[in-house]
Amino acid sequence: GAVVSQHPSRVICKSGTSVKIECRSLDFQATTMFWYRQFPKKSLMLMATSNEGSKATYEQGVEKDKFLINHASLTLSTLTVTSAHPEDSSFYICSAPGGAVTEAFFGQGTRLTVV
Amino acid sequence: AQKITQTQPGMFVQEKEAVTLDCTYDTSDPSYGLFWYKQPSSGEMIFLIYQGSYDQQNATEGRYSLNFQKARKSANLVISASQLGDSAMYFCAMTLYNFNKFYFGSGTKLNVKP
């Protein structure tokens, strides 16, 4: 089946630095990718929708300048957490829709810790 | 706006018994899909079962079945013959047709006891 590869799986960074998370669709083209954030023992919250070749659509309350999303090609979407702070520590996961309404392919997730 | 509610933060079940995880939803859109995902401690999201809003019959996938009661806006997951490997977080989610972005419930932590 289709695979979405997310990298890195874990990252620890210092406050004030930026971290880039990549999501690649390995055997299909993804014109759309969704980025979610999950706090410990909490639900997944949709952050934004990235669209290849155009600007991302952010959900209400998500800081566009803090979470930069780029969808540079049909197989790659990136989420950059800029000037990270400890409160940005979370689990971030991407997903790409498949051809059918029931299909959604999730990345493995990235556990970000900001110290 | 779409909303998914899971009222059971944690559940215990004895191995080999059946368990029902509750999910209610709210949307004004007549076309939607309801999903259940399993998330083990590793964090990956594992698709379990899907129910479309126009489906007449309840979905089943092996040991998983979805009790879909449209008038009550509920989509409970039933796991039969629980196994130790079923211990995980379970999320109910909804999509609107042709969107494929998920609205997730708060999750239920299932613990299967030997």
Rounded average pLDDT over B87-102: 86
Rounded average pLDDT over B22-35: 93
**Taking CB atoms and an 8 Å limit, are A109 and B47 in contact across chains?**
no
How high is the pLDDT of residue A3?
87
- Does A55 score more than 80 pLDDT? yes
For CA atoms A82, B2, B100, B9, give the dihedral sign. positive
Distance from first CA to last CA of chain A, Å, rounded? 37
How high is the pLDDT of residue B33?
92
Rounded CA-CA distance A6/B61 in Å is 28
What whole-number percentage of chain B has pLDDT above 70? Answer: 96
Q: pLDDT tens-digit profile of A71-109? A: 989 999 999 999 999 999 999 999 998 777 677 899 999
User: Which of residues B100 and A25 earns the better pLDDT score?
Assistant: A25
How high is the pLDDT of residue A27?
85
Rounded CA-CA distance A111/A106 in Å is 14
**Chain B residues touching residue A10 (CB < 8 angstroms):** none
* Residue A11 token pair: 């990252």
How high is the pLDDT of residue A62?
95
Please report the residues numbered 10 through 69 in chain B whose beta carbons come closer than 8 angstroms to any beta carbon of chain A. Answer: 33, 35, 42-45, 47, 50, 52
**Taking CB atoms and an 8 Å limit, are B43 and A41 in contact across chains?**
no
pLDDT tier at A1, thresholds 50, 70, 90: low
- Which site among A43, A50, A92 would you substitute to test the B interface, given the most B Cβ atoms closer than 10 Å to its Cβ? A43
How high is the pLDDT of residue B99?
66
Q: Are strands A44-51 and B74-79 parallel, antiparallel or unpaired?
A: unpaired
Residue pair A89/A37 in contact by the 8 Å Cβ criterion? no
The number of helices, as runs of H, and strands, as runs of E, in chain A is 0, 11
Closest CA to B45 of B110, B92, B79, B97: B92
How high is the pLDDT of residue A6?
96
pLDDT tier at B98, thresholds 50, 70, 90: low
Q: Using CB atoms within 10 Å of the CB of residue B19, give its burial: 0 to 12 exposed, 13 to 18 middle, 19+ buried.
A: buried
Alpha helices by DSSP H, listed for A23-107, are: none
Residue pair A114/A18 in contact by the 8 Å Cβ criterion? no
For CA atoms B17, B86, B20, B70, give the dihedral sign. negative
